[in-house]
Structure 1
Amino acid sequence: MARKNRKTDELRKIEIIPDFQGIPSGVTLVSFGSTKVLTSVSTDNFVPPYLRGTGTGWLNAEYSIMPYATIPRNRREREKISGRTQEIQRLIGRSLRCVTDLGAFGEKTVKVDCDVLQADGGTRTAAITGAFTALYIFFKRQQKARKIFTFPVTGHIAAVSCGIVEGEALLDLDYEEDYMATCDMNVVGDGDNFAEVQSSGEEKLFTRAQLDKLTGMASAAIKDIIAMQKEAIKSAM
């Protein structure tokens, strides 16, 4: 597939803007092309029942798409969230827990909110990228304020989508490309190691060679994204 404005292994324009709302919780706006996700971090003074008395905390995520993020309008999930939303929330939470020491902040629950303001493909991977940035800034400020003494973040992660479109491996799919993909993939990690790899064939089988091509392409891109995260974090400190 011939892309109009990008090479097959080229990311969309990425912007990571910390302190988007000017409050100390590290609210971060991340953009992958036209996809825009607002991420924030807060804490609750409780943990799931099975963690009470253990001295260990928890981290979970909530994800939602604003009604105006898509055309036609996306209906709000009020009484019951969809299976897709549950899946994405769990993905974000798992990914962040991979690089978080849950014993470093006591018996509290860290809540990460990811709100999609504009959707053009790759919303879950953009959410993870922004959420990690917000989480890092949040904990750094907690440590500076002496609310915690051990920094809980144990590594860096980011995420990106990729897929096979018209037989060709493409990085960072927009909505149109994702719709056309015969295989799509979400990769989360640090560029050398993986927190999660999600991949599925939409219409037909994909090959081991294609799998290796996609994960290699994504891993290289994740290193570039992490460099952008670090610059955003530095600007917020």
Structure 2
Amino acid sequence: MEWLGLSPEEWTAVRLSLRVSVWATLVSLPFGILVAHVLARREFPGKSILNGLVHLPLILPPVVTGYLLLLTFGRRGPVGAFLEAHLGVVFAFRWTGAALACGIMAFPLLVRAVRLSMEAVDPRLEAAAATLGAGPAWVFLTVTLPLTLPGIVAGMILTFAKAMGEFGATITFVSNIPGETQTLPTAIYTLLQVPGGGSGAMRLTLVSIAIAMGALIASELLARRIRRGMDLA
């Protein structure tokens, strides 16, 4: 990153953003697939409530989501106190908390992308596999999941991109601690508050644009490759 003229502090913010975004995406993925499958393939009382809860982070102000996370996962919160006492896991004011906040804020996008892809899968294919003796779990793993792969890839890219740009929930839950919780958006915000910080903010903005464009191009190429493979199969 020396050719971009990034300072060590700015490079730290870039690396931390990538770390937070990758972990937010990877940890959210199995839960997103599970929830998407339930919403796409199951009918049960309270389905609308679950759907509303999943999409709530898209509607609430990010600061509200961050405050709720602080109340729940903070050291004095019910979940946070339990995790620290029994597992030694701390989220508040740590990079892990930033990943948690980013994952929750991006979760609706992940679920929606995967759900739409699952709903496009012909249920008759799943029924045919079931008639051949495959159990529900095996049908899901061998039929539903492979056919949903383009939606999963799209959901992962959306989650990663949303995590890279998350600001409100992150700064409310884990603050803006250089080297620990200061991601690209919070670093840009900090630079804009100090005299002469505009050039640094512009450098980080260009890095953000480059990472976002790279992710989108990679996702398009990967989606084409997956579709080509499915057509050949």
Q: TM-score range by the shorter chain?
A: 0.3 to 0.5
* TM-score normalised according to structure 2 size: 0.37
More helix by share: 2
Largest Rg, 1 or 2 = 2
* TM-score normalised according to structure 1 size: 0.37
